[in-house]
């Protein structure tokens, strides 16, 4: 594995993170006094900004142009989907109408029209929120089990998601918007735990690879949908890896620390240089 470098010296109880599509900002959910809130980190200026206060934020997703974020907030008593510009030019607004269950955004389509939302019910369900018609949300994938995090492909023609319909949580691929058929992406081991909102695959920016975490292993799958490569171990790490940089060479994740606050943001660099060196070396395995 390549070198692991802290992104910021600031330590908080980080829970989730999402890198902006342009790579300039990091949206981070951090816990403070039992309530989780949304923070924004700007790489160019090493600057933190707090975006919510005592909101109980659970998930966050970026608009494709990096100008806006979508997040779940408990400010109204239940978890609803909110949206706000990252420059602070307007307050957050609730974009959902159905208040029957908790709803958490995971991915926004490249045309900025649709949001993949996880509804916290039994079983867990991925729903499609149409921002032009927010009064209704449609169920996307029929399955018997729980569904977990989901991610649109960069071209918007596919989406990856987690489901335990086969008894163990695995990653699948479906077309968008016609999700009647699905293809298995992960290998036979799948995730080594049940489905939760913390499980979400993520794509390389060019759409040619899909990644997911299996225990301490970061798995990679070559993608040319509907052709799917064999899942392989990219590296093992104690980081909760959650994204890949725009250069396709660095991964970003959260590492538990021994000194409180409990977590630290890190970036893994030089990984692909090491892999290329191993591939060139005679007899390398």
* Structure confidence by residue, pLDDT tens digits, 97-107: 887 788 999 99
What are the pLDDT digits (tens) for 35-94?
899 999 999 999 999 999 988 999 999 999 999 999 999 888 888 999 999 998 999 999
Q: Which two tokens stand for residue 159?
A: 């989406």
94/96 Cα distance (integer angstroms): 6
- Residue 280: pLDDT band with limits 50, 70, 90: very low
Predicted pLDDT of residue 278: 40
pLDDT tier, 274 (very low <50, low <70, confident <90, very high otherwise): very low
What are 208-218's pLDDT values in tens digits? Answer: 999 998 888 99
In this predicted structure, the answer to whether residue 260 has a pLDDT above a threshold of 70 is no
137: Cα within 13 Å, side-chain hemisphere: 26
**105, 85, 102: which is closest to 93 by C-alpha?**
85
CA-based R_g, the chain, Å: 18
Q: Which of these, 75, 12, 84, lies nearest to 48 by C-alpha position? A: 12
Structure confidence at residue 277 (pLDDT): 42
pLDDT above 70 for 156:
yes
Instruction: Report yes or no: 82 and 129 within 8 Å, Cβ to Cβ.
Output: no
Q: Is 56 exposed, middle or buried, given 0-12, 13-18 or 19+ CB atoms closer than 10 A?
A: middle
Specify the pLDDT at position 261. Answer: 59
pLDDT of the residue at 247:
86
Confidence of residue 155 (pLDDT cuts 50, 70, 90): very high
Task: Kindly indicate the confidence band of residue 259, based on its pLDDT and cuts at 50, 70 and 90.
Answer: low
What mean pLDDT is predicted for residues 281-285?
A: 38
Say what the pLDDT of residue 282 is: 36
Contact between residue 79 and residue 94 where contact means Cβ atoms under 8 Å apart: no
Which sign, positive or negative, has the C-alpha torsion 258, 266, 58, 150?
Answer: negative
Superfamily grouping for domain 3-280: TolB, C-terminal domain (2.120.10.30)
* Range in 16-20, 191-195, 260-264 with the lowest mean pLDDT: 191-195
Residue spans of the domains in the chain: they are 3-280
Query: Residue 133: its pLDDT value, please?
Result: 93
Neighbours of 262 (CB within 10 A): 16
Rounded distance between C-alpha atoms, residue 79 and residue 105, angstroms: 10
Contact 70, 108 (CB under 8 A): yes
Note the pLDDT of residue 220: 95
């Amino acid at each position: 594995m390549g070198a692991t470098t802290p992104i910021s010296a600031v330590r908080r109880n980080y829970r989730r993170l999402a890198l902006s599509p342009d790579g300039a900002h990091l949206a981070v959910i951090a816990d403070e006094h039992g309530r989780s809130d949304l923070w924004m980190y700007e790489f160019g200026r090493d600057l933190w900004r707090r975006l919510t206060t005592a909101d109980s934020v659970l998930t966050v997703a970026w608009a494709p142009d990096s100008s806006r974020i979508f997040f779940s907030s408990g400010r109204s008593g239940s978890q609803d989907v909110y949206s706000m510009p990252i420059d602070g030019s307007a307050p957050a607004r609730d974009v959902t109408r159905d208040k029957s269950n908790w709803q958490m955004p995971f991915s926004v389509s490249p045309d900025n029209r649709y949001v993949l939302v996880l509804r916290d019910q039994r079983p867990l369900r991925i729903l499609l929120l149409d921002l032009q018609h927010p009064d209704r949300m449609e169920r996307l994938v029929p399955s018997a089990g729980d569904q977990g995090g989901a991610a649109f492909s960069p071209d918007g023609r596919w989406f990856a998601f987690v489901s335990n319909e086969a008894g163990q949580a695995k990653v699948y691929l479906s077309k968008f918007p016609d999700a009647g058929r699905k293809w298995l992406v992960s290998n036979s081991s799948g995730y080594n735990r049940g489905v939760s909102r913390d499980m979400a695959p993520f794509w390389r920016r060019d759409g040619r690879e899909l990644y997911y975490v299996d225990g301490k292993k970061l798995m990679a799958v070559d993608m040319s949908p509907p052709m799917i490569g064999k899942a392989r171990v990219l590296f093992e790490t104690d980081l909760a890896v959650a994204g890949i940089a725009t250069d396709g060479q660095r991964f970003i994740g959260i590492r538990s620390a021994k000194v409180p606050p409990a977590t630290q943001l890190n970036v893994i660099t030089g990984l692909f240089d090491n892999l290329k060196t191993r591939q060139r070396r005679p007899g390398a395995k």
